[in-house]
Amino acid sequence: MNVQSLLESVGPWALVVIAVFVFIESGLLFPFLPGDSLLVTAGLTHQSLGLTVPIIVLVAFVAAAAGDQVGYLLGDKVGVRMFKDDARILKTSRLHETEAFFAKYGGRALVLGRFVPVIRTYVPLAAGSARYPYRKFLPWNLLGAFLWVVIVTVVGSLLGGVPFIANNIDLLLTVVVLVSVLPIVISQVRKRIRARRTA
């Protein structure tokens, strides 16, 4: 999808397109929309679109936060029913593991997961399915949505003209997040190794 052509072709409806894309990617279990690229491009071309960066940030933030609310509610109302003891993938034991994960890393997972394509679509659903308390979910969700929208849009407005950054924003954000969660991964691997040795 040529995001720049899309935004330029819709003219005054560019903000609506940004809001709809971000909302759907955030909450309606459709992870294949170009959220990062869309915001980078919007930041880069905001003047030709007749928009300001703060307006783009505000609209995208509201859409991202609202989308996550929908994802959480779907997980809370429907998610648990998808898990069965004898299921091949959605086993009840996996749900318990997810609950334990959110109990320990919930806030961090909500914020960092926002920066990883595909993952950001399913983290709110997982949080709702794991019954992560809404009073904790809401502030972390708002923080994650705010940081993602601000960072990606501002990067687009300042550095979007650099071809390498514009063409690899998804990869760059993913690398940053992977480095951030590396201590968690190492901790989990060590825990599994110790558990196997004990067994």
Q: Quickly state the pLDDT bin for 180 (edges 50, 70, 90).
A: low
pLDDT of residue 91: 56
Name the residue among 115, 3, 88 with its Cα closest to residue 49.
3
Cα 152 to Cα 40, 56, 87, 131, 172: the distances in Å are: 6, 11, 38, 30, 11
pLDDT in tens, 37-53: 788 888 888 887 888 89
The secondary structure of residue 45, as a DSSP letter, is T
Please give the Cα distance from 87 to 39 (Å, whole number).
38
Please give the Cα distance from 9 to 21 (Å, whole number).
15
Amino acid at 125: L
Cα 48 to Cα 60, 73, 149, 150, 161: the distances in Å are: 18, 37, 20, 20, 14
pTM reported for the whole predicted model: 0.74
pLDDT in tens, 64-96: 999 999 988 888 887 666 655 555 545 555 556
Q: Quickly state the pLDDT bin for 167 (edges 50, 70, 90).
A: low
Q: Quickly state the pLDDT bin for 118 (edges 50, 70, 90).
A: confident
The secondary structure of residue 84, as a DSSP letter, is B
pLDDT of 170 over the 80 cut: no
